[in-house]
Amino acid sequence: MDINSLFSVDGKVAVVTGGSRGIGEMITAGFLANGVKVYISARKAPALIEKAKELSEKYDQECIPIPCDLSSIDGIKDFMKIISEKEDGIDFLVNNAGAAWGESFETFSEQGWDKVMDLNVKSIFFLTQQMRDLLSKRSSLEDPSRVINIGSIDGLNVPALETYSYSASKSAVHHLTRVMASKLVKENILVNAIAPGPYPSNMLGPAVNYDYSEIEKRNPRKRVGSPEDIAGLVIFLCSRAGAYTVGETITSDGGIVKTASHNLG
């Protein structure tokens, strides 16, 4: 029952997709600060490599960049080849890489649909499928491996903006989480999802010109999410404290979804 044992993730190995910025970077930092070796992926190699170096130095812990495009099976296989050469097992997989697209209902494009669905839904399924053996190597009844899928409150609420493929994709992520959890729990691999609300990021930022003050005013907690909020929740799910939590989608939104009078939709 000691808190250091209950919430320890020290000595584990994690993969965080989209780990170089936004929520992915927050999760990566939380892992590194608590003794986890982290592999991060993103499409833009220079920024990814620079961020991995910066985080490694800041936390004195290994952060290893693997540039790749996870929206295609070929990209996932390239990623898996590199990971398999470096590690014989993975403890935690955080499926965080994602994209958004805003366009009116009348003109919404196939490109905007496919880009978002491929990265937000297809990549989660196929990367988890391909990583199953590496996750199984480290899993046991006492200490299961973890998969955490990053959804969104836009997959629970009707969003204010016209982001049709994004909200549909995140709703799919939440249900896919339950379906994969049912399959993989028998192999001591626990699958859960987190549905973040507003956090400072390069996805939300441009929509509000990086001014979060109005969003903060309308949030029940009167602020946006912080790195501690998302990293703490991920660490809970990955630690002994979260080892009996399976197939859940946990909101981290300051109360937007569950506090109807404050609903942002």
- From first to last of its 265 residues, the chain has per-residue pLDDT tens of 999 999 999 999 999 999 999 999 999 999 999 999 999 999 999 999 999 999 999 999 999 999 999 999 999 999 999 999 999 999 999 999 999 999 999 999 999 999 999 999 999 999 999 999 999 999 999 999 999 999 999 999 999 889 999 999 999 999 999 999 999 999 999 999 999 999 988 777 777 878 889 899 999 999 999 999 999 999 999 999 999 999 999 999 999 999 965 444 4
Domain coverage including residue 26: 3-262
Residue 191 has phi, psi (to 5 degrees) of: -115, 125
Q: Identify the CA nearest to 170 among candidates 182, 186, 158, 153.
A: 153
Q: pTM of the predicted model, to two decimals? A: 0.95
For residue 245, is it left (φ>0), alpha (ψ between -120 and 50) or beta?
Answer: beta
For the chain, the C-alpha Rg in angstroms (whole number) is 18
166 as an active site residue: the answer is: yes
Tell me the three state secondary structure of residue 48. helix
Into how many domains does the chain fold? 1
- The residue annotated as part of the active site, out of 39, 59, 166, 199, is 166
Q: Identify the CA nearest to 142 among candidates 190, 192, 90.
A: 190
